Amino acid sequence: MPAGLAVLTAGLMAFHRAVPNSVGRAGSALETFLPWLGLVVVVLLAVALLRRSATALVALLLPVAAWTHLFGGLLGAEQGPTDLVVVQHNVSDENTDPAGTARALAGAEPDLIALEELVPPALAMYARTLAPRYPYHAVRGTVGLWSKHPLTGARPVDIRPRQIQEPWSRGLRTAVHTPHGDVAVYVAHLPSVRVRAGGLASSRRDESAGLLGRAIAAEELGTVLLLGDLNGTVDDRGLAPLTSRMNTAERGFALSFPTALPLARIDQVMARSATVGHIRALAPTGSDHLPVAARITLDRSRAPEHRRVPVSA
C-alpha cells in the first residue's frame, strides 16, 4: 500500500499537467497545493519505517526525486547581485491600520511597493505615510505603485472579465526610470478563485490572466516587472499566459495566503528580461495576505533597449 501511494504521489507531481481541468478545475486545484505533496511523502516514510518495508522505502525515492526536481531549487540560499528590491502586498480593503501597514512595508527598504485593494480613505493614508520615502506614485482604480524613482506614462490596463459589468479597475502600467534603465511595471489584482461544491471556480481569473498576458506581450520596453495578487500560484496552469512569458522566483517559497495559516503564494513577482532571484514573506500587517519582498537583477544585455523617456513626459 505505501509503495503504491508513493508511486501515485510521484506521478501526480511529475505529470500534474496531465490532470484534466475540465471537471472542477481539478488540475489547477492540484497545482495550487503541489508543494504540499511533500507532506504525503513524509507520512508515507513514517508508515514505511513502522512496517519495515524495504519496497516502500525504495518506492519513496520516486516522489522525493520528483519533489526535489520541482521545488528543491527554491530552498537555496539568496545569492548574486541585486538591482532592485520590490514589495508586493494586497493590503485588504478591511485593513484597520493602513498607516502601520505602510510603515511596515517601507521598513523593508524596497525600491518599489505595489499595493492592491486600495480604497478611500485608506488610500490617502497610504499616500501620506509613504510620501517621505517614496515621492513618486501612481494609482489606477484599486491598485497602485509607490517608487523611489520617477514614474511616467501611468495608465490603466483593462483586465476586466466579460462577466463583470460594474466599474472594475484592477490593472496599472507605468514606466519606472531606475538607475539601471527604464522598466515597465505592471500592478494587477486578478479576480478571486472560489472553492465550490463542483470544484474551483477560476474562469474569471483565467480570463483576466489572458488579458494581462496579452498586454505584457505587447509591451514595448524590454524589461518588464509584474507585481500583483494574481490569485494563483506559479504552478497553476490558469496563470500560463503570464508564466509562459515571464520569469518567476528562483529562490524562496514565500507563502502569502491566508495570513493565519499561509498555504500558498498567490502574491507574485514576475519579470521579463530580468531575474527574480529571491522572494520572501514579510511579517503580518492588518491584511489577510502577507506581504512578499523580492530581489530583482536586470538583464544587462537588454540595456540598449531601455531608452530613457524624459521624466517630464
Say which CATH number the domain at 192 has: 3.60.10.10
Q: Is the domain of 152 the same as that of 284?
A: yes
- pLDDT score at 194: 86
Phi-psi region of 210 (alpha: psi -120 to 50; beta: other; left: phi over 0): alpha
Q: Is 18 exposed, middle or buried (0-12, 13-18, 19+ CB in 10 A)?
A: exposed
Q: Is 55 helix (H, G, I), strand (E, B) or coil?
A: helix
Structural domain tally of the chain? Answer: 2
- pLDDT score at 271: 98
d(CA 65, CA 9): 11
- pLDDT score at 65: 96
- Structural domain for 161, as ranges: 84-305
State which of 75, 102, 119 marks the end of a domain.
75
Q: Does any domain span residue 311? A: no
| pTM listed for this prediction | 0.92
- pLDDT score at 309: 38
- pLDDT score at 170: 98
Q: Is 169 exposed, middle or buried (0-12, 13-18, 19+ CB in 10 A)?
A: middle
User: One digit per residue, pLDDT tens: the chain, 313 residues?
Assistant: 889 999 999 999 999 999 998 888 899 999 999 999 999 999 999 999 998 899 999 999 999 999 999 999 899 777 678 999 999 999 999 999 999 999 999 999 999 999 999 999 999 999 999 999 999 999 999 999 999 999 999 999 999 999 998 889 999 999 999 999 999 999 999 999 988 777 788 999 999 999 999 999 999 999 999 999 999 999 999 999 999 999 999 999 999 999 999 999 999 999 999 999 999 999 999 999 999 999 999 987 654 443 433 333 3
Q: Is the domain of 138 the same as that of 279?
A: yes
Residue 269, C-beta contacts closer than 8 angstroms, at least 6 positions apart: 86, 88, 225, 226, 227, 249, 276, 279, 292, 294, 296
- pLDDT score at 302: 55
Residue 191: cis peptide before it, omega within 30 degrees of 0: no
d(CA 143, CA 138): 9
Q: Is the domain of 107 the same as that of 69?
A: no
Q: Is the domain of 219 the same as that of 114?
A: yes
Q: Does any domain span residue 313? A: no
Cell of 188: 494587477
- pLDDT score at 304: 43
Q: Is the domain of 230 the same as that of 283?
A: yes
Q: Does any domain span residue 207? A: yes
Q: Is the domain of 208 the same as that of 142?
A: yes
Q: Is the domain of 48 the same as that of 184?
A: no
* Cα distances (Å, whole numbers) of residue 200 to 44, 257, 263, 272: 28, 17, 16, 29
State which of 75, 92, 120 marks the end of a domain.
75
Q: Is the domain of 117 the same as that of 66?
A: no
Q: Is 178 helix (H, G, I), strand (E, B) or coil?
A: strand
State which of 25, 47, 75 marks the end of a domain.
75
d(CA 233, CA 28): 9
Phi, psi of 124 (to 5 degrees): -60, -35
- pLDDT score at 310: 38
Q: Does any domain span residue 310? A: no
Q: Is the domain of 145 the same as that of 292?
A: yes
Q: Is the domain of 176 the same as that of 55?
A: no
